[in-house]
Chain A
Amino acid sequence: MSESKTYPTGGEFLLQETAPADVFTPEDFSENQRMIAQAARDFIEQKIAPRTEELEYKGNTALGEPLLKEAGEMGLLMVDVPEAYGGMGADKATVMVVSEIISWSGSFAVSHGAQSGIGTLPIVYFGTPEQKSKYLPRLATGELLTAYALTEPGSGSDALAASTTAVLNDTGTHFMLNGVKQYITNAGYADMFIVFAKIDGKHFSAFIVEKAFGGVSIGAEEKKMGIKGSSTCQVILEDCPVPVENLLGEAGKGHVIAFNILNVGRFKLGASSVGGCKIALENAVPYTSERHQFGEPINSFGLIRSKIADVAARTFLAESMVYRTAGLLDRAIGTLDKSAPDYDLQSILKVEEFSIECSMIKVYATEAMALAGEEGVQMLGGYGYCSDYVLERLYRDERINRIFEGTNEINRMIIPGMIMRKAMKGELPFLQAAQAVAGELLEMPSFGDVGEPSFLEDETKLVVNMKKTALAALGIAAQKFGANLKDHQEVLADAADIITEAYACESALLRTKKKAGNDGQEAASLMADMLTLALHDAMETVGIKARQLLANTLEGDELRAMGAGLRRLVKHDPVGREKLHGRIAEAVIAVGKYPF
């Protein structure tokens, strides 16, 4: 990582041009990252795959316990834990690689994420040295299994409305916890829980609760639509005595922990959804080669080829934005002094700066996987509807991704919300940039030089325009609604979608340019095709969302004037999708899986 003390902050991509050399891409994986990915693959193949029937179809959730222990022995639970506490202290790119590969394990990926991510990280980032020494080495090896208990029957997205209480006892030694936590992953066998409760019913705080403290009982396993091999139960706390030293972080600052941990959960979920897209492709595409109808393999037909190409292209964009974000996080964290006593806390605060990106990849990648599951089932036809085929399970399992770690609706509110917050705090000169673009919109259009187009020149212009559209749209809405913007959820969601498409397209554009710069344009031609295909689709979406946003925001002459300006921005000459689909599908079919 670079030693420089400056780095792009979250949301800055919208306001600045990024050089291809400055983005991290899967082509930049180190030898260690590739070896770790392969080792994780080997683990799944040898330890998880033989148990698929039991886990996924018989719903033997108790299997999660021994499998987590085995994962612990292999070091798969310690990637995020600092070296000082028996972990690997790996960078975020490595963390994301592991999250992506673990997705091949199906339900176990959820158990793994709850243990190594949301169940362990609160202590990594917010624990005292004593709490860290006491718990982290045993969490890193899987000796202790853990769970994250935030949601309650009455509070999900509105986590701060929790009704679980913590009351200090008379002697001041213990908090007595009472309440019910719901949908707690790994609850069936966890030895400890990160529990959020309100001290005296008021101050939202986090606690490390060992099951052995007493007063903890576990409800029945939920009967879920998917991820059937993962344990999900209620955790019931009845006068559970928690020693005061097990208060995690400051009293009344539980929201800082909850939101930051969800942030990490989001980028990891983004990475694992990219894995999900690849699983869909590698299960669907070979089938389309083998399945003959009307005397031909069905992937010789245009409507199957278009599905293969659309899913592959969307996967490419999701993957590009996930690893670009990993690079951004590592670069920001790389500016910190690793020997500082509060390094871990400071590093999560760096992640927080990128909550916009974390939410964008959560939304984009989970929805890319939804498309992959949807089209994957369709490619298999009737077989896709049968549980003998992976796609049927993936289609069900995928559904939860758009619900947990913050619903995609909540994440859509976060994306523009955080941009505005950073703008108000002076961390992001958003309003100035938005005003400049709005000014441009009202000017007469300029006709640039017409010359020989360079590599991806059109695509580059479209991405620039997409970013300008994002700035203008959110800027106009912010100006119009001011502090009330938060009450216009539809406007916010439209803005979020425009911003997210811009980030996805730009990430893929920069990755393709970097590839072409390193290995030549020929080597980047498949990436370029995928980019072109997805970019034009994205521009259609952006055009629709921008129009909706304006119509919900302005009226009369103002609407007409801005609308005309925006139409110029989102204008793009249509591309021959059939040809692009054909070329991309050809490349995917040749390898029978995602080609990068």
Chain B
Amino acid sequence: MKIAVCVTQVPDSETRINLAAPASELDQSGFTRVLNPYDAFAVEEAVQIKERLGADCEITAITIGGDKVLETIKKDCLAVGCDKAIRVNDDAMIGADSMQVAKVLAAIIKRDGYDLVLAGKQTIDGDSGQVGPMLAEYLDCGHASVVTKLELADGTFTATREIEGGAEIVTGTLPAVITCQKGLNEPRLPSLPNIMKAGMKPQETVTCADLGIDVPPAHTTITTYTPPAPRAACRIVENEDPAAAAKELARLLRDEAKVI
């Protein structure tokens, strides 16, 4: 079985976001970059499948990005059990939208042929959640998103999807695209010796031209980022009479803050 795991790097959730000028860009100088947390579930699922199937299974991590993504690929993919990595390094993909990302990933997956494609259910920076389903469309195969349990048998899959207020169990045939949700598994940590050895695993770097594709124009463009409004100073309702103070507080919450 050949498994592709699509991964990406995102700013650490504790990163302080500063806007650059123009406001359509972020100042990335202070960013700490990490593996998208949902992608970690995809990597772990692939590794667990491989552990069940044994040597007859190969995992390829696929990503798009500049050299900064390499540490993440080594530490969080190759060091935890992916067998090789393919990276698209192309200036045309800087700031790419979901459709562009899906098309480029699809080109690699079509080129090499995979039985199963795993990805995170969404990134925690772009937050669109679209790449997985779009990828399935480009590949013309089935998909299940927001999956918390996955079983494979004889060219088919059974996936438990998290839906509003419950779960939905879907089945389908492979190849398929599965996007992974928290709860699917517990991602392991890379061991130090495996980190040291990760650099020896095969890594391929390609451009869009190498893949024989033209990147389509973006369907969406980010025009402006705005930071959340700064928190207003705290107001203290001052009244000697607690009952009157509570009444005034309730009025302010209803009429001014409009939260009740």
Contacts and interface: CB of A to CB of B under 8 A. Distances in A.
Interface of A: 31-32, 34-36, 38-39, 42-43, 46, 73-76, 78-79, 88, 591-592
B192 A39 contact: yes
Contact of A31 (B16, B71, B191, B194): B71
A75 B193 contact: yes
Contacts of A74: 189-192
A78 B192 contact: yes
A7 to B, nearest CB: 25
A32 B195 contact: yes
B84 interface: no
22 contacts: A32-B195, A32-B196, A32-B199, A35-B75, A35-B195, A36-B192, A36-B195, A38-B71, A39-B75, A39-B189, A39-B190, A43-B189, A46-B189, A74-B189, A74-B191, A74-B192, A75-B193, A76-B192, A78-B193, A88-B192, A591-B16, A591-B30
Contacts of A88: 192-193, 196
A31 B71 CA distance: 7
B182 interface: no
B7 to A, nearest CB: 16
| Chief secondary structure at chain A's binding surface | helix
Interface in B157-189: 189
Nearest to A75: B192
A187 B189 CA distance: 28
B50 interface: no
A592 B16 contact: yes
Contacts of A35: 71, 74-75, 79, 190, 195, 198
Contacts of A78: 192-193
Nearest to A140: B193
Contacts of A79: 192
A42 B189 contact: yes
Contact of A38 (B30, B75, B196, B198): B75
Interface string B25-41: 00000100000000000
Interface string B188-220: 011111111011000000000000000000000
Contacts of B196: 32, 36, 88
Interface of B: 16, 30, 70-71, 74-75, 79, 189-196, 198-199
A43 B74 CA distance: 17
Nearest to A31: B71
B192 A31 contact: no
A76 B196 CA distance: 13
Contacts of A42: 189
B194 to A, nearest CB: 8
A525 to B, nearest CB: 15
A34 B71 contact: yes
Given A32-B199, A38-B75, A73 B191 contact: yes
Nearest to A38: B75
A101 B41 CA distance: 25
A32 to B, nearest CB: 6
Contacts of A592: 16
B32 to A, nearest CB: 9
B191 A75 contact: yes
Contacts of B16: 591-592
Of A32, A73, A76, the most chain B CB neighbours within 10 A belong to: A32
Nearest to A35: B75
Which 7 A-B pairs give the minimum distances between C-beta atoms? Answer: A75-B192, A75-B191, A35-B75, A35-B195, A74-B191, A75-B193, A39-B190
A78 B190 CA distance: 14
A315 to B, nearest CB: 18
Given A46-B189, A75-B193, A79-B192, 15 more contacts: A31-B70, A31-B199, A34-B71, A35-B71, A35-B79, A35-B190, A35-B195, A36-B192, A38-B71, A39-B79, A39-B189, A39-B192, A74-B192, A78-B193, A88-B196
Contacts of A36: 192, 195-196
B208 to A, nearest CB: 26
Nearest to A77: B192
B71 to A, nearest CB: 6
A31 B68 CA distance: 11
Contact of B74 (A31, A46, A591): A31
A51 to B, nearest CB: 16
A212 B75 CA distance: 39
B26 to A, nearest CB: 15
Contacts of B190: 35, 39, 74
A47 to B, nearest CB: 8
A76 B189 CA distance: 11
Contacts of B189: 39, 42-43, 46, 74
A230 to B, nearest CB: 22
A32 B191 CA distance: 12
A342 to B, nearest CB: 25
A75 B191 CA distance: 5
Contacts of A39: 75, 79, 189-192, 195
A101 to B, nearest CB: 12
Nearest to B194: A75
A31 B67 CA distance: 12
Contacts of B74: 31, 35
Nearest to B70: A31
Nearest to A292: B233
Nearest to B198: A35
Contacts of B192: 36, 39, 74-76, 78-79, 88
